[in-house]
A and B are shown apart, each in its own frame.
Chain A
Amino acid sequence: MFRAKRTRGLDRRTVEWRRSSRGPALIPHPPNPPFPRGGVICSPPWEGGVGGVGDNRPVSSTGSRFAFVLLMGLGCLLVSGPTFAARPEPTESKTALFQPANPVIPGFERFFREGEADRTQGGRLLLGELNCTSCHKAEKGVEAHLMRKQAPILDHVGARVRPEFLRAFLNAPRTTKPGTTMPEPFVGWPAKEKEDAIEALVHLLASTGNLTDTRLNRKVIPEGRQLYRRVGCVACHGPREGKDEPLRTSVPLPQLAAKYSVPSLTSFLLDPHRSRPSGRMPALSLNQNEAVALATYLLQDIEVSFSPNLTYRYYEGDWQTLPDFDTLKPVSEGTAEDFDVSVAAREGNMALRFEGELQLEAAGDYAFHLTSDDGSKLWIDGTLVVDNDGIHPPSTKDGRATLIKGSHRLVAAVFNGGGGVELGVEISRRGRSRQPISGFLAPVKKDPSKAGTDTPAKPEVPKFRPDLALAEKGRAVFAQVGCASCHQLKMGDQPIESTLSAKALATLTPASGCLSGKPDRGHPDFGLDDVQRASLAKAIEALAHAPEQTPDAEGMIHQSLLAFNCFACHQRGKHGGVEPARDAYFETTQKEMGDEGRLPPPLSGVGAKLAPDYLKHVLADGAKDRPYMLTRMPKFGASNTSALAEAFSKADPMEPVSVPEFSESARRVKSHGRFLAGSQAFGCIKCHTFKGIQAEGVQAIDMTIMTRRLRHDWFHRYLRNPQAFRPGTRMPAAWPDGISLLPKVLNGDTSQQIEAIWRFLADGSNAAEPYGLGRDPIPLVPDKEPIIYRNFIQGVGPRAIAVGYPEKGNLAFDANDMRLALIWQGAFIDASRHWTGRGEGFQPPLGDNVVNLPEGPPLAVLPSPTHPWPKERAKALGYRFRGYRLSQDQRPTFSFDFEKLHVDDFPNAVAGKEYPALDRTISISTEAPVENLWFRAAVGDKIEAQGDGWYLVNGEWKVRIESAAKPEIRVSNGKTELVVPVRFAENKAKIHEHFEW
């Protein structure tokens, strides 16, 4: 329902694609324009050719603004210059603008282009990838040698591809998408006839669906870019940025922005097999958000701008809650697209009130979700529905309303104090997901009285509307020129049938028809180059001679790996593997695993390794079993790969391993296996995750899926000698030379030990956790004497020295700042973070009531009593930590030097009335008197003197100070500080502190 509504809403909109700085412009075609002769027009320079002329130039009156611009970015860029206005002559345009391209099939370009390549095999690959046998019927025996790639299904192409793109593509497939396998169908047609035929086809195709557009959410472009680089797109399509020459072996992409909208590309990415069923474009197991991000990244070149759907009023002022707008005069007002807060002149101390018309297709209970920073409110028809008021970081509140079908007045207002301002409104109906409310807002009605006062009106560019009579004509063309031979296009339930007839494959003669260098009318022009034509001829000849032979398993595998371009990622035997130019895009979360952690595994022997069902599943559904590998194994579809899975199993030899017998019960055997996997034995869990629980070191494949993934006999052989199967692997040999390092378990029988692990793991997610998995807490508990813990401590730093006292008072000294950094009560610290695994990160105190004491050096020479306290770390200022001494009862006194001063800091926990307290003596000695030396005891928002030397800080903790000079409370850098002048007597000074908190 929402979708339908959305579409209708879009219909009413003026949609314009404008050129952003990265690409050429695309402006939708007007309803029935004469298609220009030659078919190609570049945007005039004011549309933004070279030099990136902006979008805001005044509109020319020539009308060529409406010309559909072919998205030949390069081409357009070449014809730059201020004088360009007329259309280029067709011949010129061909030579000057476009590089003729042959169909690019990565496997062919990589393995069959150069040198001594096997032409027959290369030609066979082309026969499949160009789908030759869809026209040229082949005998059954021949078909078995081919991996046919079905052309895209066009049943709903109108919902997927922009009509303007279809027109351009039909007109000149290889210039619109260089490297395409789509042939030029209208070879030798008179221009007018061709133009009419194409127009009819465009209307036919466009009539199959309705393309929806949404605004580009530019925020997700970086995520999309990262996905493109990481998940595997680059493996086939090549990097889209950087100076490097495009790779010859990349699957070409057209100007995607001209072809798709974000929703249509998103649905394609989520399920590419729906329109491209042969699995050449695999599904990368993207979730909805990822697909949107990737589509947005790929389509970032266009800027879809809609007509405004809201009016706004902008106010300035300092508020704690939303103001009463009726009493205020707006600083400015106007129209906006969505809740675009950038219409405000400033981010801070401002408010915005948006108003629009909400159109609902159906009556019902609706939920509204209001996200803002700071406060906001949402009213529908004058009733407050969501209240998200007050000062707060971005947060969302929900409200409900029962609304009738039709129009409703919507008002949303936001104010902001400091920081970034944000406002978002979403709507949902029961059981449906949330969506931006913008799809439900009607365009702002033009107020004739205000015409010309706002931004200049954009020219109305009506949306392409398919003409059904033309579409019917297109249907005939579709059947006649052979589109239907390759493409499925169902009208009703029936696919259009091709009326084009072609010779059978066996009767083809080289160098004629499609294979001639210059095909004539009636033959599609694939743009094949000499090598490709020669290869095809060879393959056709070879197949004619040996149609009866069935391809062997290895041959079938090789053919599949070429066709699916598996070789872009995987090596099998001597063939394939990541090409050097793409290598850098294969990344890992665990660099220390080396190539093993980032490059997809070799497929040599994979049939012997993976369990047949699992292999089938991986090929059909993709996999993400290697948590460290950022490239994903994509999904190729069961119908495309089940034969491949079987061929793997057939081709890779396996000697069966004799499974040992046990005299012990099955339970005992499993418990041996559990022991062996644990940290007291082979420690498998140190590197492999287990039921998703992280390992100590690298996070290798989860052990509990092993028995599903792997063949039983392979598991046995691999564990005996991992290097033999995966040279260079970090997987250690636990049974070097086949001999167990644990002779006491199962009598040291290697085979039994491996089998015990297998049986234990066969319990999958029900397997008991092996010893040493995860992290048990290691609380350090001071008993009679203090415990010192020197490590990375949160709130202190990497050079922290924590001391836990038997009195249950604890502290941490920071040897970078020479400061007492933290004090807390109760439990001391949990050492498990640092004493289990590798010990990454900072550990907070285990106890309670943690007080952070001032950062920075505790002592400083200040030129004046108002001079700000130094901000640098003490170590950087030249303070030198000297270590500590322990008293007879093991209590530390910390020492440091600074210029002429030597300082001993002796903090010491003491029992308090109810809670432990802390005494601290700071002894300072100097060789010569030091003037203007201060000690900083506290920093806070509020420090109150309470008499008798007591000070209360932030109302939370208090300190009593004894010193030769009276402490002072001062305000500095927006904070309150408690500072003590240091007075020396005989070059010595002392300050006592007593903390209670």
Chain B
Amino acid sequence: MRTATAWLFFGLLVFAPAWSRAADPKEQEYYEIFTFPIPDGVVLEAGAMEMMPGDQLAVSSRRGEIYLVSKPFTKDPKEVKFTRFAHGLHEVLGLAYRDGWLYVTQRCELTRIKDSDGDGRADVFETVSDGWEINGDYHEYAFGSKFDPDGNLWVALCLTGSFTSENKYRGMALRIAPDGRTAVTTSGLRSPGGLGMNAEGDMFYTENQGPWNGACALKHLKPGAFVGHPASFRWYDEAKTLGPRPKEPQSNSRMMDEAKKIPELLPPAIYFPYPKMGQSASGIVCDTTSGKFGPFEKQMFVGDQSASTVMRVVLEKVQGRYQGVCFPFREGFDSGNLAMLLTPDGSLFVGGTNRGWGSRGSKPFALQRLNWTGKVPFEVHSMKVVLKGFELLFTEPVDKEKAADSRSYSMRTHTYIYQSSYGSPEVDETTPEIKSATVSDDGKTVRLELDKLEGGHIHELHLDGVRSASGLPLLHKQAYYTLNYLPVEDESK
């Protein structure tokens, strides 16, 4: 059933001898992690983060507390202070601040809270919307977003037990206006791990491997779309804003085959191949810091809870839908990364927990901050699909000779079974031939021409032979492009 060769291929990668990396560039030279000391007695299983006035970082916890962290940008751990702003909330997985109120997404409702008497503790807890149901199942999580350009907050509702939709709008995403008006917006969710917008303000969420999901993914919450898991279909009659109920997808098919039959079905923008990129995709942020976070302006960063990593994502629109590429970005966080917040000064706050789901980082919880050191890593900046292959943009000029040698690259593709049972092996493997690699005059762009692009496949590219003009290997040598749609003539660059 599983493609043995695919795993052999993977095995070779993993078995790459460790010593060969000794001279390789290290992630920490480019992005350094600052770890916040967490006071004794504080169990900061970070579920969401937001900046509050006075440069205070609000961090919510799965235990229903919200802490304010003062001096969050400091390099001196001694300056940091934690004060508890609120407690008694129900597993908070969303924080957004506006006009004096902190909007808190709890399991049971969206609440806005504030400190009205100035004692540093919230005393008003106003219900904004409780327009969904819960039944006591631990899996019925509610993840909240930041405000979208129209001033709405989004809530992504996990399925019951991650398989079924026992209560109103489990498996759907809602938009909630500040006055509490609640509109069901997108169906087909299963087990979200975070919400976030791209630079254009379109809302995305991370989905986890499971039924109808061959691997973890980044999905666009396009209003009216169905994003893959049909359990939430039962609420279409009540969720009038969504339009008619889509056709049921057929199990044991392929995503793109079903997308052809079901107009509402929007394929994932990015698959995070399991477990090469991670096993539980989580928080999402977008770099709009105008360069303060390094050379990846307008790119997105996605956490992984199991692998304790942050991944990098570059999207483009092909045939009107988002798709694109993901790269490894930074590993080595202390706990299971869940919440992420990128502040305008270029600080990426990463909050972690590994309660209930183990993580590579072994701390039960952690709050860390990732900053760019100012040194530009040699990376594939972006990867875009063109008519006959891919165009790679590098952060630094490449060694033209090596980069023009097609043997510096290798590629394989695969897809997943779109099925009602859990996950999927990598199937339908192909190994396209890289016919040519053409380097631009400035040495920053390489165009790879392939014998065939496989629509509906993840294109896994390895750039082991590529070096920078100054002789460095890539900081991360692999890229995974989710090629749902092939470019059409007038879209190509």
Contacts and interface: CB of A to CB of B under 8 A. Distances in A.
A737 B14 contact: yes
B89 interface: yes
A835 B111 contact: no
B14 A723 contact: yes
A790 B90 contact: yes
Contact of A727 (B7, B109, B119, B163): B7
Interface of A: 571, 574, 577, 591-595, 597, 679-683, 686-687, 696-697, 721, 723-724, 727-728, 730, 732-734, 736-739, 741-742, 787-792, 797-799, 801, 815, 831, 835-842, 875, 880-888, 890, 892
Given A727-B425, A799-B130, A888-B117, A742 B362 contact: yes
13 contacts: A592-B210, A686-B356, A687-B358, A728-B423, A789-B64, A838-B138, A839-B91, A839-B356, A840-B136, A840-B137, A883-B124, A886-B125, A888-B117
Given A592-B210, A790-B90, A839 B108 contact: no
Contacts of B108: 790, 798-799, 815
B124 A885 contact: yes
Contact of A837 (B15, B355, B362): B355
Nearest to A884: B125
B355 A836 contact: yes
Contacts of B209: 594
B15 A721 contact: yes
A895 to B, nearest CB: 9
Contacts of A593: 422
Given A574-B4, A727-B425, 13 more contacts: A591-B211, A594-B423, A680-B364, A686-B354, A696-B356, A697-B356, A727-B7, A730-B279, A799-B109, A815-B109, A838-B357, A841-B136, A842-B136
Contact of B125 (A697, A880, A885): A885
A792 B275 CA distance: 33
Nearest to A739: B18
B126 A882 contact: yes
Nearest to A838: B356
Given A594-B423, A799-B108, A839-B91, A723 B358 contact: no
Nearest to A896: B127
Contacts of B54: none
B106 interface: yes
Given A697-B357, A840-B138, A595 B275 contact: no
B332 to A, nearest CB: 8
Nearest to B162: A592
A604 B279 CA distance: 25
B176 to A, nearest CB: 14
B18 A571 contact: no
A792 B64 CA distance: 13
B123 interface: yes
B87 interface: yes
A679 B275 CA distance: 22
B106 A790 contact: yes
Interface string B333-374: 000000000000000000000111111111010000000000
B306 interface: yes
Given A592-B210, A721-B15, A837-B355, A732 B138 contact: no
Interface in B187-234: 209-211
A682 B138 contact: no
Contacts of A880: 127
Contacts of A835: 43, 62-63, 355
Residue among A733, A790, A837 with the highest chain B CB neighbour number at 10 A:
A790
Contacts of A888: 117, 119
Nearest to B119: A888
A791 B90 contact: yes
A595 B423 contact: yes
A734 B354 CA distance: 14
Contacts of A724: 7, 10-11, 14-15
Given A683-B362, A884-B125, A728 B138 contact: no
B135 interface: yes
B440 interface: no
B274 interface: yes
Interface residues of B, number: 65
A457 B36 CA distance: 89
A727 B6 CA distance: 10
Given A732-B306, A738-B18, A787-B87, A883 B127 contact: yes
B358 A697 contact: yes
Contacts of B43: 835
Contacts of A884: 125
A577 B358 contact: no
A892 B364 CA distance: 31
A728 B274 CA distance: 7
A790 B130 contact: no
Contacts of A741: 360-362
A696 B123 CA distance: 34
B320 interface: no
Interface string B304-343: 0011000000000000000000000001000000000000
A732 B62 CA distance: 23
B2 interface: yes
A45 to B, nearest CB: 43
B88 interface: yes
B127 A792 contact: no
B134 interface: yes
A693 B140 CA distance: 25
B265 to A, nearest CB: 22
A723 B275 contact: yes
A679 B130 contact: no
Contacts of A837: 355-356
Residue among A737, A798, A831, A840 with the highest chain B CB neighbour number at 10 A:
A798
B421 interface: yes
Given A842-B136, A882-B127, A732 B279 contact: yes
A96 B91 CA distance: 69
A592 B422 contact: yes
Given A595-B423, A790-B106, A888-B117, A881 B130 contact: yes
Contacts of A721: 11, 14-15
Nearest to A678: B362
B127 A881 contact: yes
B64 A790 contact: yes
Contacts of B18: 737-739
A686 B305 CA distance: 14
B1 interface: yes
B356 A734 contact: no
A831 B306 CA distance: 25
B132 to A, nearest CB: 11
A971 to B, nearest CB: 33
Nearest to A786: B88
Nearest to B111: A883
A801 B90 CA distance: 9
Contacts of B356: 686, 696-697, 837-839
Contacts of A840: 136-138
A738 B19 CA distance: 11
A890 B88 CA distance: 11
Contacts of A734: 360
B275 A732 contact: yes
A574 B14 CA distance: 23
Closest 10 CB pairs of A and B: A788-B88, A594-B422, A838-B356, A840-B138, A686-B358, A790-B90, A594-B423, A883-B127, A886-B123, A727-B7
Interface string B61-79: 0111000000000000000
Contact of B134 (A679, A680, A799): A799
B157 to A, nearest CB: 13
Nearest to B117: A888
Contacts of A736: 331, 360
Nearest to A588: B422
Interface string B86-99: 01111100000000
A841 B108 CA distance: 15
Contacts of A595: 421-423
Contacts of A728: 2, 274-275, 423, 425
